[in-house]
Structure 1
Amino acid sequence: MTVQTVRDVMTTNVVYLPSETTLAEAARTMREQDIGDVVVADGPELTGVVTDRDIVVRAVAERCDPAATTIGEIVSKDLVTVRPDDSIHSAALLMRDQAVRRVLVCDDHQGLVGIVSIGDLAEEIDPESVLGGISKASPNN
């Protein structure tokens, strides 16, 4: 049996937004692109990642104004990364150990080449499982 790698399951269509983007703009982008995260980058420098959950927990629940608060104010700066040739099993273990739902995929030069989410792994590891089915389902927009 061939060991599947992160490269086999990663999403390569990474969406980047500058840190001055408002939460409202970021949320609209996520909805339009059908994604749960954006990479925050100012020029070539990666600042971090903002997820739909970050917007809810770190901003909306704290009564921040989504039209005035920027993603730079709530960005997760502790980046958890894997390499494209890592096994999906090792990526899943890292996600569990670091308590994250997605990891950035970086090449040998620390260039971002993709993102892997827990949903990507669930679909691949056991597509017939309940989690695999949920991950494949269309979102309720």
Structure 2
Amino acid sequence: MNIGSICTRRMIALDSNSTLAQAAGLMREHHVGALIVTSQTPAGPSVSGIVTDRDLVIDVLARGLETAGIKIGDLASENIASVPEEADMAGAMAVMQAYGVRRVLVTDAEKRVTGIVSLDDLMDASAKELASLVAVIRSGIEREVAETKGAPQPPQPMPLRVPAVGTAGWTK
């Protein structure tokens, strides 16, 4: 399963000069935990970072910083982790581990951002694969049970009778 098939294609971006309040408002409005931060270049807008809800809480609120003077570009992680659409889940997890992040950007062959994949997305895809594996196992068990229904059954074991405390033995 490649990352391109499980990533989220709907991404929300904002300019690096936006305020923290604008970022938080966008996250709430669109029900997302990460925003793509862009900056203007001569070629047009370019990805300059990513900011997460966790960044807002841990880096700003928990430190008691004054939010009015902080631009989202100041907070955004400039060390952008990304994987190609063709990467597998193990590759995406390796990048997450190497960068210490829970989300990575997904890029196409021309290195354009086409999506974002989160740890939650990877866990969901893994759970679906495990559920398919369980279905295979159950199907095999059901087939074996159906095949043995007409076969002679082995004798049932004799029940064990436990005598009173202090004595031991088998009884018929």
Shared fold per TM-score greater than 0.5: yes
- 2:98 matched to which residue of 1? 97
**Identity value in percent:** 34
Kindly report which structure 2 residues correspond to 1:11-50, keeping only aligned pairs within 5 A, or say none: 11-43=8-40, 44-50=45-51
CA distance in 2, matches of 1:38, 1:127: 27
Unmatched runs of 5 consecutive residues or more in structure 1: 130-141
- 2:2 matched to which residue of 1? 5
Larger radius of gyration: 2
2:72 pairs with 1:75: no
SS at match of 1:73: helix
- 1:60 is matched by which residue type in structure 2? L
Q: TM-score, normalised by structure 2?
A: 0.68
2:116 pairs with 1:115: yes
- C-alpha displacement at 1:128, in angstroms? 9.4
- 2:57 is matched by which residue type in structure 1? V
- C-alpha displacement at 1:127, in angstroms? 4.5
- 1:139 matched to which residue of 2? none
- 1:54 matched to which residue of 2? 55
- C-alpha displacement at 1:28, in angstroms? 1.2
2:61 pairs with 1:64: no
CA distance in 2, matches of 1:47, 1:64: 23
1:128–1:28: structure 2 CA closer, same or farther, 3 Å change rule? farther
The count of corresponding residues between Structure 1 and Structure 2 is 126
Alignment root-mean-square deviation, CA: 1.7
Give a deviation string over 1:96-132, Cα, whole Å, max 9, x none. Answer: 2322100001112211100000000011111499xxx
- 2:21 is matched by which residue type in structure 1? A
CA distance in 2, matches of 1:46, 1:94: 18
Q: Which moved more, 1:49-58 or 1:92-101?
A: 92-101
Unmatched runs of 5 consecutive residues or more in structure 2: 131-172
Structure 1 consecutive aligned stretches of length 4 or more whose deviation exceeds 4 Å: none
**Higher RCO (C-alpha under 8 Å, 6+ residues apart):** 1
- 1:80 is matched by which residue type in structure 2? A
Q: Which moved more, 1:109-118 or 1:67-76?
A: 67-76
- 2:63 is matched by which residue type in structure 1? E
CA distance in 2, matches of 1:104, 1:97: 14
- 1:64 is matched by which residue type in structure 2? L
- 2:139 matched to which residue of 1? none
Q: Which moved more, 1:10-19 or 1:89-98?
A: 89-98
